[in-house]
Chains A and B, each alone.
Chain A
Amino acid sequence: MRGLADDDKSPLLALRVSPGIKIVTIIIVSIILMMVDHAHDSLAPVRSTLAVAMQPLQIAAELPGEFTEYLGHYFDRGELISDNEALSQKVLLLKVRLQRLAALEAENERIRALLASASSLDQNVLIARILSVTPDPYRHYIKLNKGSADGVFVGQALIDANGIMGQITDVTPLDARAILITDANHGIPVEINRTGLQTIAQGTGKSDQLRLPFLANNSAVEAGDLLVSSGLGGRYPAGYPVAKVTRVKHQPGDEFLDVIAEPTAHLNRGREVLLVWTRDSSLQADDGPYPSDRSAADADTAVNAAAAAP
């Protein structure tokens, strides 16, 4: 091996700029980049351009999984048939329930109108497929196959059949990235369905836990309570289930309860999610258009304006 016995002048070791200078420069540049990235979105175009360039690699990484899934489908004919039957029955059941719900919704709308606190229940949804889950185990992000071309906008709420999943953080024309409610960086305003108590549910970085850090010791909360979105802050539509309280612990000497809740949405299962458009212009902060019937939305403006003012 050449170079080992030689001094620093051997060609192998003769680095043009000393590594010390390089690393100090890079540390400074990195810190500046991180601060800029953290503070505002000016680096978003760079990020999305690079992301598009990296797409083939990500597709390649997804291939083995997709292939085994495909093979699984190939061999699971019997299971598919029974699944299909079970699903058909479920659809029938849900349709029956939906009929009742439609009547209830109309009634609710009438009563709200009487109370002069009308908030529109009319919401548009779009089904998106989960393309990938972030491979970083410390962050809870998913990538969806719908982007700004479909009207998806930053801040848009994401739900599944069981509750709120998260919100969109980045959009490119063809796909979008969403943060899940369990990410350690995420908080969602909720209310306890039983008592109407308002609080905030924070992610913990674990996929089955949310924390409610701001409940005072005398708060009326108990295990089993359902948390629904309160709609405060204007990001999430109100009234969707978010989580179920699993543990309430009184911390001696602490002013706040230690409350843990489990998200109702199936965050780490399933492949499809629903993107919600609420017909409330205050939610459309990032001027995303509705996917359809804009004129119908405009007709509601008067009602929504009333709803926007508390």
Chain B
Amino acid sequence: MIINHHVSGLLIVFTLGLGLILTLLPAPEMIAAARPAFFPATVLFWVLMQPLRFGIISAWCCGILVDVIYGTPFSEHGLALAVAAYAVIKMREILWTFPVWQQALLLTPIFVLYEFVLFWIDGVAGAEADQWWRWLPVVSTVIIWPFWAFVLERIAELEVG
């Protein structure tokens, strides 16, 4: 388990870049709307697996980068990711005891929380796009979590063995 190992910062940055690219790949509107939140999933994976190195502050910084790329109000995604990271930290002892596919189910409310914070800020900022498919990423992210966590673990094991 990589929880017990010290994963290098470079590796974390690499996987975050990977997650970001998967989020940025151009896609048709409907697919883009249902696209799994790869980047937040990656951030939360590290919050879960490397709690000493990667916490709320790191998650917040990652969110700021998303805000820069998306052009959303500064710290909108930062806040959403920080809140999600906080929830993961609070739940981490439960999360650690489950295999990844059950983790996915436990993470569902956290991804809902993440989307809700974004939805809420958009509403306050007057950019409400009130569409039901806004919640599709929650479903797709929960579905890909076991696979994505598996991939990230394998990548990490390349380094820590």
11 contacts between A and B (CB under 8 A): A1-B96, A19-B56, A19-B86, A30-B60, A30-B78, A30-B79, A30-B82, A34-B79, A54-B65, A61-B26, A135-B69
Alpha-carbon distance between A11 and B69 when the two chains are bound, in angstroms: 36
Contacts of B68 in A (CB 8 A): 47, 50-51, 54
Give me the interface of A with B, judged by CB distance under 8 Å. 1-4, 11-13, 15, 19, 22-23, 26-27, 29-31, 33-34, 36-38, 43, 46-47, 50-51, 54, 57-58, 60-62, 64-65, 132-139, 141, 169-170, 177, 183-185, 204-207, 268
CB <8 Å contact, B17 and A137:
no
Find chain A residues with CB under 8 A from B128 CB: 184, 205
How far is A2 from B51 in the complex, measured between Cα atoms in Å?
Answer: 13
Of residues A2, A22, A34, A207, which shows the largest number of chain B Cβ atoms within 10 Å of its Cβ? A34
Name which residue of chain B comes closest to A13, CB basis. Answer: B51
With A26-B82, A38-B73, A135-B26 known as contacts, the answer to whether A57 contacts B21 (CB < 8 A) is yes
Listed from nearest, the 10 A-B pairs whose CB atoms lie closest are: A205-B129, A61-B24, A30-B79, A37-B74, A33-B75, A30-B75, A23-B86, A138-B129, A137-B33, A136-B70
Contact of B74 among A47, A64, A137 (CB under 8 A): A47
- Residue with the highest number of chain A CB atoms closer than 10 Å, among B68, B90, B121, B130: B68
Interface size on B, residues (CB 8 A): 50
How far does the alpha carbon of A29 sit from the alpha carbon of B38 in the complex, in Å? 25
Q: Which of chain B's residues have a CB closer than 8 A to the CB of A22? A: 55-57, 86
The residues of B that contact A183 with a CB separation of less than 8 Å are 127
Which residues of A are found within 8 Å of B89, using beta-carbon distances?
A: 15, 19
Q: What residue of chain A has the Cβ atom nearest to residue B87's Cβ?
A: A23
Residues of B within 8 A of A (CB): 1, 3-4, 17, 20-21, 23-26, 29, 32-33, 51-52, 55-57, 60, 64-65, 68-76, 78-79, 82-83, 86, 89-90, 93, 96-97, 121-122, 125-131, 134
Q: Which residues of A contact B76 (CB under 8 A)?
A: 30, 34
A26-B56, A47-B74, A60-B21 known; 8 new pairs, CB 8 Å cut-off, are A3-B3, A3-B96, A22-B56, A37-B74, A65-B26, A135-B32, A184-B129, A205-B131
Please tell me which one of the listed residues A1, A65, A134 contacts residue B4 in the complex, with CB atoms under 8 A apart. Answer: A1
- Measured between beta carbons, the chain B residues less than 8 angstroms from A13 are 51
Task: Closest A residue to B79 by CB, please name it.
Answer: A30
Are A26 and B60 in touch, CB under 8 angstroms?
A: yes
- Is B127's CB under 8 angstroms from A185's CB? yes
> Are A57 and B24 closer than 8 Å at their CB atoms?
yes
Shortest distance in angstroms between A186's beta carbon and chain B's nearest beta carbon? 10
Point out the residue from B65, B71, B75 that lies within 8 Å of A34, measured CB to CB: B75
Question: How long is the Cα–Cα vector from A110 to B37 in the complex, in angstroms?
Answer: 58
